[in-house]
Structure 1
Amino acid sequence: MTLDTQFDKAVTIVRGLPSDGPVKPSQDQKLQFYGAFKQATEGDVTGPRPGAFSFEAKYKYDAWKKLEGKSKDDAKAEYVALLKSVLEANSDDDSKKYLAELEAAA
């Protein structure tokens, strides 16, 4: 399997995490996922930083901007590693299942 396959699986897992489930990434981790995803799929951020009152858009822009210059493959690897760390911090059955799925895609 390839990094692309593992990245795609990680994206599927993150997008499918139930909001009321046992695996709850922090707000900072969610922004890290966002930045790594955008860098992995689109490359460096473009355009101006959103205005002062667009808080969510500004935080997302900043999370993506932090990864400027990072290759798409490095951003994919970072996304996968972040998911692994989030899942390994939990000891519930869902986390173990997601980790097994992620490892199977490796």
Structure 2
Amino acid sequence: MSKGKFDKAVAIVKSLPKGGPIQPSQDDQLYFYSYYKQATIGDVDIPRPGLLDFTGKAKWDAWNERKGVTSEEAYVKYVEKLLIILEATETEEAKDYIKEINAA
């Protein structure tokens, strides 16, 4: 899996409009977040947020679960997950995104 496909997938995920036809679930969003951080930074390198920061803890925990995953593996997991979501959506927009990823 190329970094180009990963970069294209990241750009697509970041551009998805709220309320649009392609809506990753909260679990999917944590999945993308954790593999993005693992691909771009590596193993979690910050302390776990405090008890009242529920979102921060969920993100930290998701990222920490990826400990030891290489950047290349993280690229693959991120792109594969997005392709699964896009294929399930079956819209023209999703089909266009799939073509963009495959062309990258």
TM-score bin (small chain): over 0.9
> What 5-or-longer segments of structure 2 have no aligned partner?
none
Give the Cα–Cα distance (whole angstroms) in 1 for the partners of residues 31 and 66 of structure 2.
9
Aligned to 1:103: 102
State the TM-score, normalized to the length of structure 1.
0.94
Aligned to 1:58: 57
Which runs of 4 or more aligned residues in structure 1 lie more than 6 Å from their structure 2 counterparts after TM superposition?
Answer: none
Give the Cα–Cα distance (whole angstroms) in 2 for the partners of residues 47 and 11 of structure 1.
22
Equivalent residue pairs, number: 104
| Shift, 1:47, TM fit | 2.6
Residue type at the aligned position of 2:12: I
| Shift, 1:49, TM fit | 1.2
**What secondary structure does 2:21 align onto?**
coil
Give the Cα–Cα distance (whole angstroms) in 2 for the partners of residues 18 and 47 of structure 1.
30
What is the aligned-residue RMSD (CA, Å)? Answer: 0.9
Q: How is 1:2-81 mapped onto 2 (pairs within 5 angstroms)?
A: 3-81=2-80
Aligned to 2:93: 94
Give the Cα–Cα distance (whole angstroms) in 2 for the partners of residues 47 and 35 of structure 1.
13
Residue type at the aligned position of 1:13: I
Residue type at the aligned position of 1:42: I
